[in-house]
């Protein structure tokens, strides 16, 4: 029985080690946010103060962590609807500025305002066709810590479709530094502070645009750098 117990204990320990080796937890030293990504995804820091990090996989998937400061700590569907609308327009505008006529289309596949782990979040799904290459992008938007966080994963459509459950698992693992900093109020209370507080920064979106261009074998825009 002792031998069996030792074997079982070893197997449990081995399973735990394998699980840990399969994932890495990223914790940003500046903002304190946490995110779990596959262990084989390569990490690259960013020199842009609004871009926290990049991760790239061997399967043509990449992840971008962005944020911008905001005075808003109150969330509801009205706030997230404004954020989603601005993210959608800023994304397409940023792509058009970089690739011009090479952008054949940029379409919204869907959007959701929902709860994940006690946080209210928003998710935006887009598909862009650049020089006949379809690229899917899923952006998770989280308002917390007096910041608007963007957690974005992009990939060529086939690879993204095959890895969709993994994409969702990564996005759902995001945690702000202070989850309780998010407060929910009725639309009437915060209607007056929506204007000017939910605009997505093209400068911040630029980091995401660069990685999308890499997926279609484009050169990065002037001034872009990783690491």
Question: What is the CATH number for 114?
Answer: 3.40.1000.10
Tokens linked to 54: 């990049």
Residue 123 in any domain: the answer is: yes
Burial of residue 69 (number of CB atoms within 10 Å: 0-12, 13-18, 19+): exposed
Q: What per-residue confidence (pLDDT) applies to 100?
A: 92
The residues near 63 (Cβ < 8 Å, ≥ 6 apart) are 37, 41, 54, 55, 56, 151, 152, 153, 170
DSSP label of 220:
P
Q: Is the pLDDT of residue 98 over 90?
A: no
Residue 13 in any domain: the answer is: no
Sign of CA dihedral 193, 28, 55, 117: negative
Burial 11-37 (b: 16+ CB within 10 A, else e): eeeeeeeeeeeeeeebeeeeeebebbb
Q: What per-residue confidence (pLDDT) applies to 46?
A: 79
Q: What per-residue confidence (pLDDT) applies to 220?
A: 46
Tokens linked to 1: 């029985």
Residue 192 in any domain: the answer is: yes
Q: How far apart are CA 41 and CA 121, in angstroms?
A: 24
Least reliable range by pLDDT among 17-21, 25-29, 42-46: 17-21
Domain region containing 73: 40-215
58: confidence class by pLDDT, cuts 50, 70, 90: confident
Whole-angstrom CA distances from 190 to 13, 117, 141 are 50, 24, 18
Q: Is the pLDDT of residue 188 over 50?
A: no
77-99 helix and 202-215 helix, angle to the nearest 10 degrees: 60
Residue 34 in any domain: the answer is: no
Q: What per-residue confidence (pLDDT) applies to 204?
A: 55
Q: Is the pLDDT of residue 223 over 70?
A: no
**Helix boundaries (H) for 23-163:** 77-99, 157-162
Q: Is the pLDDT of residue 21 over 60?
A: no
Residue 31 in any domain: the answer is: no
Q: How far apart are CA 147 and CA 60, in angstroms?
A: 29
Chain centroid offset of residue 30 CA? 17
The pair phi, psi for residue 48, each rounded to 5°, is -75, 125
Higher pLDDT, 129 or 188: 129
Residue 112 in any domain: the answer is: yes
Per DSSP, the three-state class of 138 is strand
Average pLDDT (124-151) is 95
Residue 139 in any domain: the answer is: yes
Residue 16 in any domain: the answer is: no
Counting the structural domains of the chain, the total is 1
Q: What per-residue confidence (pLDDT) applies to 4?
A: 38
18: confidence class by pLDDT, cuts 50, 70, 90: very low
């Amino acid at each position: 029985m002792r031998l069996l117990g030792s074997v079982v204990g070893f197997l449990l320990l081995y399973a735990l080690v394998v699980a840990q080796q399969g994932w890495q937890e990223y914790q940003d030293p500046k903002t304190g946010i946490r995110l779990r990504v596959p262990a084989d995804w390569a990490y690259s820091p960013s020199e842009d103060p609004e871009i926290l990090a990049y991760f790239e996989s061997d399967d043509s998937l990449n992840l971008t962590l962005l944020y911008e400061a905001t005075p808003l700590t109150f969330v509801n569907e009205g706030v997230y609807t404004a954020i989603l609308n601005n993210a959608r327009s800023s994304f397409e505008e940023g792509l058009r500025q970089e690739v011009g006529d090479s952008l054949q289309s940029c379409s919204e596949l869907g959007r959701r305002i929902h709860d994940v782990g006690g946080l209210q979040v928003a998710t935006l799904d887009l598909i862009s066709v650049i020089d006949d290459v379809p690229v899917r992008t899923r952006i998770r938007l989280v308002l917390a810590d007096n910041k608007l966080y963007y957690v974005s994963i992009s990939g060529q459509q086939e690879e993204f479709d095959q890895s969709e459950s993994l994409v969702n698992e990564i996005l759902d693992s995001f945690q702000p530094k202070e989850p309780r900093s998010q407060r929910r109020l009725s639309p009437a209370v915060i209607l007056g502070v929506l204007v000017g507080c939910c605009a997505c920064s093209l400068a911040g979106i630029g980091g995401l645009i660069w990685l999308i261009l890499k997926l279609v074998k484009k050169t990065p825009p002037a001034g872009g750098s990783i690491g």
